[in-house]
Structure 1
Amino acid sequence: MKIGFVVNQIATEEEWYDTTLLTYTAVHKGHEVYIVGVGELSYLEDGHMGLLAVKAPQTKSRNLDNYLKLFQDPKREKFFITSKDLDALFLRNNPCEEIGDRSWAKTAGMIFGQIAMEKGVLVLNDPYALMTSYNKMYFQHFPEEVRPRTIISRDVEEIKDFFQKEKGKIVVKPLQGSGGKDVFLMDNSTNLNQIVETIARYGFVIAQEYLPAAKNGDTRVILVNGKILEVKGKPAIMQRVNKDGDIRSNVHVGGTPTKAQLTDTIKTLCAIVGPKLIRDGMFMAGIDIVGDKIMELNLDSPGGIVSMERLEKEKFSNEIITAIERKIEFKRYYQGKLPNAFLATLDV
């Protein structure tokens, strides 16, 4: 299988990113792997997508840091390939990290992914669905039972009214964002105006009910093909414990990954959101759960597999690449007759 991975920028990838692990795993399973930043995609005169990509190194090293250094080496040769050369394209770039003078890059992966898809490449997650989901409004299309009470607005007075209805304790954050950036717990009205106005300069503001269970962090679950990913009966799940004084539990801002139990509540929440994820071609999703509610869906570049493998001593990444292999096999059987969104979540 020839598979491309789209990232924000090769130079900014990290050893603990799931993309690093997934490309490494694909190489070790014998596949030809190409890694490309969104700025090195192009549209060609014959209608195909072009990629100026780094070919993932063949290495027996089990050290992801050494592996990362090999493909980030500025002297490493780049190859120009096209969508003709690929069986699959895995979009792993995070639009919310593209700010300032790289705002052009926010939707680039999805747009070029659509070109590749139209030329017969299996694109994960489905690029048309990603265009509607890369901000948090997508979450509001799921059943109310799984979501915290929420309003989305740029009006300070509207948010202040919601604050009062929620007995003076809410969480506010930007509609477009990830990784815990600009997330605030408001338990008094002193700075509410200032914080809402600051976030609103760049777009809409999400105001959510505060869930008391958030003091214990959140639970990240990985879904593949709309179902909880499991290997040898062990689910891809972890608890992320907050750093003292911080409501955010994201690992890169100081949250600590620990083992978590797959409860009936978590199973039910994942079962409720699964059908829509399947319909929309969301091959891989990260679900963040607090108490009996889902706080966020992560669909652009869901992470956590690196930590989960260390906690559970199982190769979840191997199962993800195997799932892609099966899809490519069925794609060849049906010679392009299966729609991308259907094939993206086909569980065989």
Structure 2
Amino acid sequence: MRIAVILDPLASLKAYKDTSLAIMRAAAARGHALYVAEQGDLLLRQSRAVLRTRSFEFNGNGPDWYALGPHQEQTPASFDAVLMRKDPPFDNEFLYSTYLLELAQQQGARILNHPASVRDWNEKLAVAQFPELAPAFLVTRDNDLIRQFLAEQGDIVVKPLDGMGGSGIFRLRTDDPNIGSILETLTALGTRTIMAQRYLPQILQGDKRIIMINGHALPYALARIPKAGETRGNLAAGGTGVAQPLSERDHYIAGTVGPELRARGLFLVGLDVIGDHLTEINVTSPTGMVEIAAQTDCDPALTFVEALETLCAG
């Protein structure tokens, strides 16, 4: 297969732990040709979607660990698959990319994940599709309503709708002296919508990342355990990743959400689960594959590539 991957700049990636690179290594090991592009390499010439790519090869583990070919303009439809793996934030540039990728899809390209579904499924708001699985939550920019929600719940987490890696997340309790300042900052004085969720003390046992591939869960989740004194379990916020088999409740959540993900063309998704509750649905560039592979007999990247082969063959 010919696979194009839209990435953040290669120099910014951590080669030893990046999920996109793990997928690419697994694909290369199975003989597939790899091409890379950045978000700015996606363009439109009149009505025709074009992707400026460079051929990519792994080149050992030293400082020069990859080799690139010259830039070439190719149609996205000329590849067997185009993987959109640009990290959030989901800003206007990301939004514009989904429009261009949707046009490419209409012109015959296979884009994963489905660009319209990525656009429609905000990673925080998507839990509203499955309210019975989620903790109590409120989405608003009205600080008075958030204060009422805090008074009802007693202990909440507030977070922006476009963040990643735990950025901008705060835990608030009714006796917190900084409630006003935090809410004013997050909502930009009531002009930016945010999410408030009931705080789940099970976070101390880990914020579990369940990786879904074409609607099916891997057998292991990555429990991201907060460091001492931290509310957030995100690895980017200093959490420790511990792979563990899915629980009965994890299987239920994955089995409930999976068919809808598959129906919407969301091929690679990360479900975030704390205790018994679904807290986020990550559809942009979910991670955690390398940590699971290092701690278990499961190879998520290989599983992904094999599923991709099956999809393309079909």
The TM-score bracket by the shorter chain reads over 0.9
The reply to whether residue 209 of structure 1 matches residue 213 of structure 2 is no
| Superimposed CA distance per residue, residues 12-42 of structure 1 (whole angstroms, 9 cap, x where no aligned partner) | 2221220111112212211111111101111
Match of 2:72 in 1: 79
In the TM superposition, 1:268-307 aligns within 5 A as: 268-307=252-291
Which structure is higher in strand share? 2
The reply to whether residue 255 of structure 1 matches residue 239 of structure 2 is yes
TM-score, length-scaled by structure 1: 0.84
The reply to whether residue 147 of structure 1 matches residue 134 of structure 2 is yes
Alignment size in residue pairs: 310
Deviation at residue 66 of structure 1 after TM alignment: 5.3
Q: Percent identity?
A: 27
- SS of 1:95's partner is coil
Match of 1:199 in 2: 186
Match of 1:94 among 70, 84, 87: 87
Match of 1:20 in 2: 21
C-alpha distance in 2, partners of 1:194/1:307? 37
Match of 1:218 in 2: 207
Q: In structure 2, do the counterparts of structure 1 residues 89 and 25 end up closer, same or farther at CA, with 3 Å as the change threshold?
A: same
- SS of 2:244's partner is coil
Aligned residues of 2:76 and 2:104 also touching (Cα < 8 A): yes
The reply to whether residue 184 of structure 1 matches residue 184 of structure 2 is no
Match of 1:342 in 2: none
Deviation at residue 157 of structure 1 after TM alignment: 0.6
Aligned residues of 2:156 and 2:171 also touching (Cα < 8 A): yes
Q: In structure 2, do the counterparts of structure 1 residues 327 and 48 end up closer, same or farther at CA, with 3 Å as the change threshold?
A: farther
- SS of 2:25's partner is helix
Q: In structure 2, do the counterparts of structure 1 residues 292 and 14 end up closer, same or farther at CA, with 3 Å as the change threshold?
A: same
Q: Which moved more, 1:170-179 or 1:199-208?
A: 199-208
C-alpha distance in 1, partners of 2:22/2:31? 15
TM-score, length-scaled by structure 2: 0.92
Which structure is higher in helix share? 1
Match of 1:339 in 2: none
Match of 1:39 in 2: 40
C-alpha distance in 1, partners of 2:63/2:281? 31
C-alpha distance in 2, partners of 1:192/1:149? 19
Deviation at residue 58 of structure 1 after TM alignment: 4.8
Structure 1, unaligned stretches of length 5 or more?
230-234, 331-348
Match of 1:120 among 81, 103, 108: 108
C-alpha distance in 2, partners of 1:95/1:251? 15
C-alpha distance in 1, partners of 2:272/2:306? 24
Q: In structure 2, do the counterparts of structure 1 residues 104 and 268 end up closer, same or farther at CA, with 3 Å as the change threshold?
A: closer
Structure 2, unaligned stretches of length 5 or more?
none
Q: Which moved more, 1:318-327 or 1:80-89?
A: 80-89
Deviation at residue 104 of structure 1 after TM alignment: 4.0
Aligned residues of 1:10 and 1:35 also touching (Cα < 8 A): no
Aligned residues of 1:149 and 1:208 also touching (Cα < 8 A): yes
Match of 1:346 in 2: none
Match of 1:321 in 2: 305
C-alpha distance in 1, partners of 2:146/2:265? 34
Match of 2:230 among 233, 241, 246: 246
